[in-house]
Amino acid sequence: MKTVQQSSTRDFTYPDLAQASRSWPMEATTIATKQPVADEGVRITRALQTTLDLEELLETFHKEITKLISYTSLAYSNIPQGIEYAVGKAAPHTCTYHLVIAGESLGELSFTRRKKFTDPETMMIEYLMCSLVYPLRNALKYKHALQMALKDPLTGVNNRVAMDSTLQREVELANRYGTPLSLIALDVDYFKRINDNYGHATGDCVLKAVASAALSSIRSTDIIFRFGGEEFIILLSNTDKEGAICLAERIRQRIQTAKYICNEAMIVATASLGVACLDKGENVHSLFSRADQALYHAKAGGRNCVKIA
């Protein structure tokens, strides 16, 4: 006999969830706690209002509702914001909810287990999600605000504030575990001439295009920062000297060959790059200074080239 697996995806706006809560008898009690459903909803709502951290919020929600509903795994995803969270081991039977509030998508929440969810159980899940949607929206907005505070508003890459904390962390990890770490300092050649000849709006356009060209050249594990003005820093975790030089050269070539059309003007842009690789026990300041010194040699050596510390 073949068992048909339960798999359902539902779109729920917040009013729908509120309606679900009204359809559940408030005098009914949960099997697990013997407490009125309304009391459990209030208790969970209060627990979720204690944090704006998204992961902590989802962990709290999972911890609270497992007292009321039996399931094997819970998963949350928000693809536009690149968020994936899962706890437990996935099972064949699935109930997935696409959460929407005031026309805004909050992502998808999935529950799985080895046996089918009954109608009363899915109704209970939908009621309990009433306590999640507003705290979830607040946590998503808070996470987005934190991310934006670490982004350069012009180019969209990470800013200097993000660079300072990230470099410190990565240098400490590389020294602790003995893994290679490299740094690339990049400066757009003759950028003052671009501003003087074409104006600052065109200069901004060129900076955005250069950042885009660099981003398209690096790997997913690499991180690029705008240090200031026309200078960028690229952090290469677990990358030795040969790998760093190869990547720096690829970035240089991509910037040189890209077409820059800004405000109807065709701009020629190149970049000079300096590479430094972390020595054993070296600190952030020393590594950064050596990358900057290598960049100075690249500019003194004719620009549009790569030099290593």
Q: Which residues does 210 contact at the CB level (< 8 Å), separation at least 6?
A: 188, 230, 232, 255, 258, 269, 271
Residue of 84, 230, 231, 282 with catalytic role = 230
User: How far apart are the C-alpha atoms of 272 and 22, rounded to whole Å?
Assistant: 65
DSSP, res 81: G
User: How far apart are the C-alpha atoms of 109 and 75, rounded to whole Å?
Assistant: 6
Place of tokens 């054993």: 280
The residue count of the chain comes to 309
Report the DSSP beta bridge partners of residue 85.
76
Half-sphere exposure of 203 (CA within 13 A, CB side): 16
User: How far apart are the C-alpha atoms of 189 and 219, rounded to whole Å?
Assistant: 24
Please confirm, yes or no, whether 230 is among the known catalytic residues: yes
Which residues have a catalytic role annotated?
A: 230
